[in-house]
Amino acid sequence: MIGIGIDVVDIERFRTSLQRTPSMRLRLFTPSELAYVEPQVDPVPSLAARFAAREAVMKALGLGLGAFGFHEVWVERAESGVPSLAFTGRAAELSAEAGVTTWHLSLTHSNLVAAAYVVCE
C-alpha cells in the first residue's frame, strides 16, 4: 500500500458555496460527473462526495490542495454502480511517480455529510 486518504464534506456548506458561486460546478466537476448527477432530485450530496474524492486522492498521495487541477481526477461509475477514479494530466503523472498501479474508492453520504475513502497501491 502506498497511501490512504479520507475526506468529509459538510453538504449544506457545500450547497451554499455552489449557490453563491454557480460557476464552481464547472470548475470542480467534469462534464461526465455533471451528467451523472443531473437527473437526481438533489445532486449536491453526490457532488460533495466527488469533491471529497479529489481531496482524498491528494491526501493518499501525501499532497496538499492544489497539487493538480480538479478536472485531472474524476469519479466514474460502472454499470453495477461501483465507483472508480480516472486520472489525466498532472494527477496521472503524480500517481505514476508515486508508483501507484491500483486505486480503490468508496463514497458515501448522509443528509449532513459526504465522504470519500481512497487507498492507493
Active site residues: 59, 109
Contact 12, 75 (CB under 8 A): no
Q: How far apart are CA 108 and CA 80, in angstroms?
A: 16
Provide the H-helix boundaries in 8-84: 11-20, 24-28, 31-37, 44-60
CA atoms within 13 A on the CB side of 99: 4
